[in-house]
Amino acid sequence: MSHPSPPATAPVEFTHRQILTILGGLMMGMFLAALDQTIMATATRTIADDLQGFDLQAWATTAFLITSTISTPLYGKLSDIYGRRPFFLLAIGIFIVGSFLCGLSDNMWQLAGFRAIQGIGAGGLMSLALAIIGDIVPPRERAKYQGFFLAVFGTASVLGPILGGFFAGADELLWLSGWRWVFFINVPIGLAAMAVVAKVLHLPHQRVNHRIDWPGALTLILGLVPLLTVAEQGRDWGWGSGRSIACYVVGVVGIIGFILAERAYKHEALLPLRLFSNRTVAVGAASSTILGMAMFGGLMTVPLYLQIVKGSTATMAGLQMIPFVFGIMAGSITSGQLISRTGRYRIFPIIGSSLMVVALFLFSRVGADTPLWQTMLVMVLMGLGLGSNMQPMITAVQNAVSPREIGVATGAVTFFRSMGGTLGTAVFLSVLFNVLPGNIASSYQEAAKDPAFQQAAADPAQQALLAQAKGGDALTDTSFITKLTDVVAHPFKVGFSDSVHVVYLMAFFIMLIGLIVVFFLPELPLQQRSAQQARAEDALKAEA
């Protein structure tokens, strides 16, 4: 039974002070998600070694990405119907529960399961924050407020590695293993975020009565989970094994079911198919998928390279990633200010994608003996590319759709970026661990011809460690590298660097396709009204 719509209300124009107050609540929620990513980047190796699962670490990342990917469009759609505030609070609450459970993990499989719960919360933190900004700030003015979000990412990117390294480096802290505080720290921050959001985030919302596309949600899960699982596990199972084939079949059936469900639900669908007839949305979705693959798939290996090849501690590896953060902030601030002044946005994703193509190619040339300052320069270039790409694409998509669909459109772009990130992480880590044993063995065969290596490797203690380096256990616990002499450890580092080159070359070719895609992005005039104003004015006209 359909309910009568409530009477339309006059559009509300938020003052600069009101916008800053609401931004305060959003920034707390976004800080949670941003801090979690940067802490995990530097602590993953320690956690994986402690839980005896370095070769299983992809599951902790993949489980988080799968659930955050699937939940993102749900948050967007439900918040369009019921309002943003309750779902933003729900997302923070789920994230807190998931974080607490992660801190209690006893093995890598438990950690992966609890990271999946965390991901359900994380799926709403980013997409809803971006949708709320679209609600209250006109596209042309959004650049003025980008700096505040960048301050959150910048702060989290500096604090995260330091905290991650501190916790990962502490054997015990308050009677618990130090790395467990990587997750427990989210609990007080999350509770503070909930309190702030509950107090300041009050947005006018006009209830829109729609059916909820549960068949679409279920078939999306049925389609994505098996395909993403086989992407990660295919190297162990065998790509043509019975389990892999079963995953392909179930995944394809799920995707076909999802498309049929979306066609049946039409404009009430979780991801309305007609949205993709809009060229800006179609280009935004394709570009975001490729960007996610290149970003997650390429950059997740940098902290591993810094720790394993360069011998950095977890804290140092995090601090060495700061040039990348500066690049993102510089790219975002510059593109944001220029968009606000000129009203033109199309050029920035093109420039950003070009910079990323160059950076990924340069990363593929970084070896075991490359000076660290050269690697850091490439990080800056990669950051500039990402900063010039992400926010302008969100602005373009939000500007191109109906104000009533800003949540589902923002959710769609974030969904495809997460989807790309999930695929990139699963596939690239799978490739990395697949080529790594062969490259390490080849490096040691080459090094065995060197008299200096023969002399160093003759030591009985080094021989025992060397057997571990060449064996299957090398990928379960990498802490033995620090006990090897430089001469004996060097071939292992060369083998790791050669394996990372394969990942970056793959990301380079994928990003080349992304560069071609963004050339199809149309340039539309940026609107001067916020989505909330446009919705209210349209409702008043309809009533009149």
Of 249, 267, 285, which residue is a domain's last? 267
Kindly state whether residues 108 and 43 are assigned to the same domain: yes
Kindly state whether residues 112 and 66 are assigned to the same domain: yes
- Contact in structure between 310 and 368 (CB atoms under 8 Å): no
What is the phi/psi pair of residue 518, to 5°? -70, -15
Tokens encoding 319:
């601090």
Q: Is residue 3 part of a domain?
A: no
> 């359900």: which residue's tokens?
120
Q: Is residue 303 part of a domain?
A: yes
Tokens encoding 83:
């309002």
For the chain, how many structural domains are there in total?
Answer: 4
- Contact in structure between 179 and 43 (CB atoms under 8 Å): yes
Output the pLDDT for position 154.
65
Kindly state whether residues 450 and 435 are assigned to the same domain: no
Domain harbouring 438, CATH code: 1.20.1250.20
Q: Is residue 167 part of a domain?
A: yes
Kindly state whether residues 52 and 180 are assigned to the same domain: yes
For every one of its 544 residues, what pLDDT tens digit does the chain have, with 9 covering 90 and above?
444 445 555 556 667 777 777 787 788 888 887 787 767 766 777 777 777 666 666 677 778 877 887 788 888 778 877 888 889 899 999 999 999 998 888 877 888 889 889 989 988 887 788 788 877 777 777 766 765 676 676 677 667 777 777 777 777 766 777 778 888 888 888 888 888 888 877 776 666 666 777 888 889 888 888 887 777 677 677 778 888 899 999 999 999 998 998 888 887 777 888 888 889 999 999 998 998 888 776 667 787 888 888 887 766 777 787 888 788 888 888 888 888 888 888 999 999 999 999 999 999 888 888 888 898 999 999 989 988 888 788 888 888 888 777 778 887 887 888 778 777 877 787 788 788 878 888 887 887 777 777 777 677 776 666 666 655 555 555 666 766 777 777 788 888 888 888 889 999 999 999 999 999 999 888 776 666 666 666 666 766 6
Q: Is residue 306 part of a domain?
A: yes
Overall size of the chain counted in residues: 544
3-state secondary structure of 197: helix
3-state secondary structure of 173: strand
**Spatial separation of the C-alpha atoms in residues 140 and 525, rounded to whole Å:** 9
For residue 493, give the H/E element and its range.
helix 486-518
Kindly state whether residues 376 and 413 are assigned to the same domain: yes
**Spatial separation of the C-alpha atoms in residues 364 and 384, rounded to whole Å:** 18
**Which residues does 486 contact at the CB level (< 8 Å), separation at least 6?**
none
Output the pLDDT for position 3.
47
Q: Is residue 7 part of a domain?
A: no
Give the domain range for residue 229: 213-267
Kindly state whether residues 232 and 141 are assigned to the same domain: no
- For residue 190, give Cα distances in angstroms to 125, 194, 197, 411, 490: 11, 6, 10, 22, 43
Of 290, 329, 276, the closest CA to residue 508 belongs to 290
Kindly state whether residues 238 and 379 are assigned to the same domain: no
Of 249, 237, 228, the closest CA to residue 424 belongs to 228
What are the residues facing 176 on neighbouring strands?
A: 173
- For residue 61, give Cα distances in angstroms to 112, 126, 261: 7, 17, 29
Output the pLDDT for position 2.
44
Output the pLDDT for position 9.
53
Kindly state whether residues 41 and 117 are assigned to the same domain: yes
What are the residues facing 173 on neighbouring strands?
A: 176
Q: Is residue 1 part of a domain?
A: no
For residue 172, give the H/E element and its range.
strand 172-173
What are the residues facing 172 on neighbouring strands?
A: 177
Output the pLDDT for position 444.
78
Kindly state whether residues 91 and 104 are assigned to the same domain: yes
Q: Is residue 8 part of a domain?
A: no
Tokens encoding 12:
């509300």
Q: Is residue 38 part of a domain?
A: yes
Kindly state whether residues 105 and 173 are assigned to the same domain: yes
Kindly state whether residues 232 and 134 are assigned to the same domain: no
Kindly state whether residues 494 and 480 are assigned to the same domain: no
